[in-house]
Amino acid sequence: MRISVLVQKLLINMSLNKRKLSYGLAINEAMSQLMRKDPSVLLLGQGVKSPWYVGATCKGLAQEFGGDRVIDTPISENAMTGAAVGAAIVGMRSVILYPRMDFMLYAIDSIVNEAANWSYVLGGASSVPIVIWGIINRKGEQGAQHAQALQTMFAHIPGLKVVIPSTPYDAKGLLIAAIQDDNPVVYIDDRWLYGLEGNVPEEIYTVPIGKGVVRREGKDVTIVGTSYMALKAVKAAEILEAEGIDAEVIDLRSLKPIDEDILFASVKKTGRLVIADGTWKSYGAAAEISALVAENIFEYLKTPIKRVTLPDLPAPASRTLEQAYYPGEKEIIAAVKEIVKNNH
């Protein structure tokens, strides 16, 4: 019986997962399927009609759904975000897109003061079903104002959920879950993931918000990755395997709510933790994950926790400086070796 269930699951998985799609097109498919299914879904943002500004994510949407529901906005982030919030309060499911996450800073009032607080301050009289979608525009010599990864700021705010998909499958499933959620969800993707191909089922499906996933099982050390750093963590683990270190990789997929269960179960098993996060170190996601582990399961730790993050600096332009600025598998491997070497 058990085997037949497993076989059945495997067959379902194979049939669902046979199609490959890029990350950018997975987002595009989620948007178009939900706009087709639910007339209350509304998309606003700079570049939603552009052939290049937001990759392939908005391909064909304006043509299919028209200018009333797919609105390429003036450069007015504060009011446009407020409008998306207001529309959501009165029953739309708004998606507001920022082609460069840096531009979201103009909209902080609408996001933090209005969207995040609205349900609470009015005792639940109305909620804000909005997706606040920011693209990290990392690298490419873009410099500090076109490359920031600010998701941790939003994860600090009560009333916001924050998701950070790293695969095409999660990009689609989390966007659908975010649009269908009755609350504000900050959806952060990374433009360097847009070309990444992976299995994406054709039908509408969701990836639960607040649930991480084990990308690779291992027993020596836990590497927790966020967004594109989860992919780097998988690569690092593959290299480490050749050197005899068996790393477990967890992709958190959501920063808030954070999946404590998956994190604690893994660290309890391995006793070692490396956090790979593509945001700044101080007060960041890696700091929060460290605190959670130290506070709750300190006795399981065999070694200190290591953090692999951006240095506390603005993003540089020059490629030599970029190289030094962005961590990758090399830095993750070095961090793992620092804590595994003596006790392995």
List 79, 105, 108, 297, residue binding another protein (CB under 8 A): 79
Whether 344 is catalytic: no
Query: Is 206 a residue that touches another protein (CB under 8 A)?
Result: no
Q: Residues 6 or more apart from 342 whose CB is under 8 A from it?
A: 303
Query: Is 47 a residue that touches another protein (CB under 8 A)?
Result: no
Query: Is 92 a residue that touches another protein (CB under 8 A)?
Result: yes
E strands, 200-328, are: 213-216, 221-225, 247-251, 254-256, 273-280, 306-310
Peptide bond connecting 257 to the previous residue in cis, omega within 30 degrees of 0: yes
List 69, 269, 281, 302, residue binding another protein (CB under 8 A): 69
Task: Single out the catalytic residue among 29, 77, 248, 329.
Answer: 77
The CB-of-43 to another protein minimum distance in angstroms stands at: 11
**Which run of H or of E encompasses 66?**
helix 61-69
Tokens of 258: 């954070």
3-state class of 275 per DSSP? strand
The CB-of-125 to another protein minimum distance in angstroms stands at: 4
Fill in the per-residue mask, 25 to 44: x = in contact with another protein (CB under 8 A), - = not in contact: -----------------x--
Binding to another protein (CB under 8 A): which residues in 94-153? 94, 109-110, 113-114, 117-127
Q: Give the 3-state secondary structure of 195-236.
A: CCEEECCCCCCCCCCCCCEEEECCCCEEEEECCHHHHHHHHH
Query: Is 81 a residue that touches another protein (CB under 8 A)?
Result: yes
Cα separation, 83 vs 302, whole angstroms? 51
User: Active-site residue numbers?
Assistant: 77, 146
Residues near another protein (CB under 8 A) are 42, 68-69, 73-74, 76, 78-92, 94, 109-110, 113-114, 117-127, 158-159, 182-183
